[in-house]
Amino acid sequence: MKQYRHLQNVATLAYDQDKCVGCGLCVAVCPHRVFTLRNDKAHVQDREACMECGACALNCPAEAVAVTPGVGCASYIIQTWLSKSSAPQCC
């Protein structure tokens, strides 16, 4: 998902490789393919693609991933959609 970008260096994504058990759930649930598995551990391959949805953190059984959902890209996108959908339609 290299073409997807919002703001550089603002994602709240934090990953502790020492805690990782290599289950691959973060890889499976991430909609932007931020994670890959490498040598039986998750690897953050594209941190800047993180939209901070929180799926990785919610599904990590080892609590190796942390993210603050709703403060960055995902929040921006949702608020933009809401403001457009709630605006009165003209003509």
Segment 42-57, tens digit of pLDDT: 999 999 888 888 999 9
Segments forming the whole domain that contains residue 78: 14-86
Query: pLDDT averaged over the chain?
Result: 84
For residue 6, tell me if it sits in a domain: no
For residue 54, tell me if it sits in a domain: yes
pLDDT of 79 reads: 72
> CA angle, corner 23, sides to 6 and 25, nearest 5?
35
For residue 77, tell me if it sits in a domain: yes
For residue 79, tell me if it sits in a domain: yes
pLDDT(64) > 60: yes
pTM greater than 0.85 (yes/no): no
What gap in Å lies between CA 35 and CA 28, rounded to an integer? 9
For residue 1, tell me if it sits in a domain: no
In total, how many domains does the chain have? 1
Q: The CATH number of the domain where 71 resides is what?
A: 3.30.70.20
